[in-house]
Structure formats: structure tokens, C-alpha cells
């Protein structure tokens, strides 16, 4: 195709490009490192050196818990929001584990925690706990930090509490079904195979809807 569109000379140049798995992986890693370094430098040079973070823990389809952290800061007179880093939580997902990941990253990149002025999280006890929540732990290290409950999570909780009775009944049944399927590895495999046998793709939708339903379940328990 390259030969037809661009000629034989360009075909030879394209053929000389290494596209092995290790080469592609190394180039992706180098680009990711370069982008991270740019974001870190912008944070360090932001107005007054201040920045805020927004973070959340999410479990992927491989049941691996991932901590995702975003940064908000002022650069060149404009507010910027950039993805800062993602790190797996190998064992537990307690506030101390999350704080350790954030501290390790800030120390390795020489970002001063004292310059953190805001921290936005969801309403999970590990984040907003009054005694040992993540925001409480952060405020012990950075006195300027203002804790914020994520607006999107607040709206989701408010919407789940004001559902009409028929919709709430249907949603409760869906939650029970999803919890049953996702509650065991065998159930998940059987449901996935059932979808394949029926030529359906509902198993992928089930995986995607797990997090919103979990929010509703937390609200009911509260």
C-alpha cells in the first residue's frame, strides 16, 4: 500500500522501521515519560507553585485496583487539568495505601506537598473518613489543602436518592443480578459463555456498569 501511494523509495524507508513488540513498548514508555516530565515541570512552574489533585480508585476488568490521579494548576495564565499518574494498589485500598502512592510519586518527582491547595475525591470512607480518611491524612502534611467532595459523585448520589419508586425497584433488581454474576468467578464465566452462545455482547455492558451500580448500593446501605 505504501509503495502504491508513496512509491518504492518510501516503501524501503517504512520497511526499515522496527515494529517489534519490545520496540513499540519502549517507544510508548518513552513518550509517556516525556509527557509526565512536561506536566511535572509545568506544575513546578505554576503560579505561586500551587496545584490541586483529583484522584479515584477503580477496579479494571482484570480485578486489578488502579489509583488514578489528575492535577489542576495554572500555566501561562490558563488553568490546566492533566493526568498525573496511575499506580496499582497491590493489596488493600485503604487511605494509607493511597497516601503512600501519592507521596512516593511526589517525592520521586520533587513536587512539594506543601504547595498542594486542593484535593478532590469521592465519598468512599477511605477518602472522606473523618479519622483516617485520605483527605484527613493529606491535611496533616499540607495545611493549605481544601478537601472537596467530587461534584459528579454528589449528583449521582442525589439522583439515586430521588428515583421514582418503579425505577428504584427495577434498579435494585438489576443491582442484585449484577452482584450475583460478579460476586463469583464461576458465575462471571458462566454468564460470559451464555452471552457468547446467544451471540450477545451483554457481558461487556455488565462490566462497564459495575461502578455506577456500586455507587447506588453504597447509597442504600447508608
Range of the domain at 50: 2-149
User: How high is the pLDDT of residue 77?
Assistant: 85
| Structural domain count, the chain | 2
pTM: 0.61
Among 126, 149, 172, residue at a domain's last position: 149
Q: Hey, what's the torsion of the CAs at 89, 114, 34, 99, to 10 degrees?
A: 0
Among 123, 149, 175, residue at a domain's last position: 149
Contacts of 196 (CB under 8 A, 6+ apart): 203
| Residue 161 and residue 71 share a domain | no
Q: Could you say which residues of the chain have pLDDT below 50?
A: 208-222
Centroid of chain to Cα 3: 42
Among 149, 176, 209, residue at a domain's last position: 149
User: How high is the pLDDT of residue 93?
Assistant: 78
User: How high is the pLDDT of residue 37?
Assistant: 92
| Residue 183 and residue 88 share a domain | no
| Residue 190 and residue 96 share a domain | no
| Residue 112 and residue 11 share a domain | yes
User: How high is the pLDDT of residue 190?
Assistant: 85
User: How high is the pLDDT of residue 199?
Assistant: 79
| Residue 140 and residue 58 share a domain | yes
Q: How far apart are CA 164 and CA 173, in angstroms?
A: 14
| Residue 167 and residue 132 share a domain | no
Amino acid at each position: 500500500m505504501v509503495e502504491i501511494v508513496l512509491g518504492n523509495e518510501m516503501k524501503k524507508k517504512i520497511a526499515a522501521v522496527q515494529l517489534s513488540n519490545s520496540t513499540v513498548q519502549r517507544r510508548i514508555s518513552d513518550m509517556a515519560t516525556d509527557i509526565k516530565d512536561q506536566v511535572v515541570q509545568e506544575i513546578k512552574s505554576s503560579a505561586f507553585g500551587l496545584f490541586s489533585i483529583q484522584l479515584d480508585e477503580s477496579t479494571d476488568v482484570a480485578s486489578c485496583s488502579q489509583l488514578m490521579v489528575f492535577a489542576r494548576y495554572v500555566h501561562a495564565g490558563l488553568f490546566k487539568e492533566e493526568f498525573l499518574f496511575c499506580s496499582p494498589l497491590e493489596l488493600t485500598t485503604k487511605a494509607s495505601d493511597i497516601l503512600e502512592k501519592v507521596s512516593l510519586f511526589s517525592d520521586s518527582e520533587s513536587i512539594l506537598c506543601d504547595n498542594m491547595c486542593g484535593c478532590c475525591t469521592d465519598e468512599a470512607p477511605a477518602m472522606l473518613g473523618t479519622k483516617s480518611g485520605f483527605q484527613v491524612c493529606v491535611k496533616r502534611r499540607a495545611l493549605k489543602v481544601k478537601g472537596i467532595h467530587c461534584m459528579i459523585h454528589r449528583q449521582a448520589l442525589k439522583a439515586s436518592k430521588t428515583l421514582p419508586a418503579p425505577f428504584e425497584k427495577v434498579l435494585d433488581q438489576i443491582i442484585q443480578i449484577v452482584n450475583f454474576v460478579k460476586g463469583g468467578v464461576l458465575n462471571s464465566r458462566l454468564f460470559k459463555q451464555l452471552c457468547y452462545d446467544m451471540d450477545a455482547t451483554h457481558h461487556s455492558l455488565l462490566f462497564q456498569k459495575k461502578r455506577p451500580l456500586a455507587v447506588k448500593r453504597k447509597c442504600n446501605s447508608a
